[in-house]
Chain A
């Protein structure tokens, strides 16, 4: 085959692969939404089989886990971007972050189970689930913080330091505000991913849910929406309309993911592009 025809063939194949990938995504979202959207109404949230408590737990656990992981993740990211000298210690920290990022979530779950459920004797709790979930967020937060801070032009820093500001003043008044859009994007993506996490929570936050809505007791067991989907799909209780609940729950999860990705992450990504001027 001539090189020209080969080139044309390859172009066609590459276009086709791209189409397959996009079609897959559209079909995926379309399939889930078309099956679940008709179940989504107020009854689905607050009714007797409603998932209101699970929905609340999802956000409550997400909130608590960010409360724990944000300060540490930001701190470690700032250290790596602004302070870290090139030495063995920094290498070790970087290696730890990369290793932590590759730990399978079920391993985090079992680790949390050893610490919170058994060693501290708490049993399945929202707090234990949130603390374990924080470990999953940690490496991604460190990485996005470091990347957003490194993207800030160094002349900003130099100007501030030359005016006599301390390192912390420079960070707080100059570097962090400039890096803010990137940080927000990173945190949003972390939150979106933590919201759908299941394997970590089954054996730390448990699969039971409080009988009344908006139970903020962190020492109670707290099933989240994603865990609920797993529970109803893999062990459907007889006599309940498990399939309908699963369809609705999956649609609700996808809608939450879309909100986090499209409504929150994209505008701030656009903002970041405007501010930093690179893609």
Chain B
């Protein structure tokens, strides 16, 4: 017996170490991503100017002009459009699911909204290119229909599941007493939602919006297919332009690894990485504030 029991304890300790090692590995992965992508990206500035990269819209690597402002603007603008359209719609959907939907409808609609998250982003791009771009061309009279608007509309659909699921969870987690107290005071359901529930769910709603922004700014394939892929600064919402992600996909295949042009593409992905890490830190701060209240 003693022998077997020592084996059991050996196993127990071995598994414990394996679990710790897996956890450490997750940290190692994120640090190495930062390190490798960071190093490769920052190598851009051996030859290109740092200030020019962030302030110039002149992107012609053939003649040594590395101004990435067009792509940065494109990424920020598409994300903004996506939040402006998808934010209110997702919020309304979440309020409906949490407070208005009859249980039968809710049990269908909740998994249905999660299906949005399962649809591959190329498929969103495919629908964008065959339907939305066409629709924009017809309604706005733009020559191609590609551009910020098309990308923003596609992204606004893609961020719906993020907004809906987090906001709904937050609303449902609120103590019932909030709602009961408000209704007992004679407030209508809408007054209760607007004056009591939404403010109380504030941090959760903010978290949902930030995570949706992180999803939108990093989205690549769907945007690449409908943005038009021209390195020109967008003259309007419906003229072809580029984002950080779409330009990486477009040019990565045609540039030799280690060239300044190639490094500049890694620099763009470093910008994306830093933005998403900042957004995560923001989410944590919001969560901590929310918990402190």
Q: Contact residues of A with B, CB < 8 Å?
A: 3-4, 6-7, 9-11, 13-15, 17-18, 20-22, 24-25, 28, 31-32, 35, 71-76, 78-80, 82-84, 92-93, 95-100, 102-108, 110-111, 113-115, 117-118, 135, 138-139, 142, 166-169, 171, 189, 192-193, 195-199, 202-203, 226-227, 229-230, 233-234, 246, 250, 253-254, 257-258, 260-261, 266, 269
Contact = CB atoms under 8 A, between A and B. Distances in A.
A14 B23 contact: no
A119 B43 CA distance: 16
Interface residues of B, number: 89
Nearest to A93: B23
B248 A168 contact: no
**A-side interface mostly:** helix
A96 B221 contact: no
Interface stretch (B50-58, B136-144, B183-191, B232-240): B183-191
B229 to A, nearest CB: 9
B111 A99 contact: no
B127 A229 contact: no
Give the interface centre of B26, B97, B118, B283 by most chain A CB atoms within 10 Å: B26
Nearest to B273: A107
A15 B160 CA distance: 16
Contact of B190 (A11, A25, A192, A254): A11
B196 interface: no
A152 B25 CA distance: 26
Contact of A103 (B188, B219, B257, B276): B276
A142 B26 contact: yes
Given A17-B92, A75-B18, A229 B11 contact: no
Nearest to A18: B96
A166 B8 contact: yes
A106 B92 contact: no
Contact of B22 (A22, A32, A79): A79
Given A17-B89, A168-B12, A105 B120 contact: no
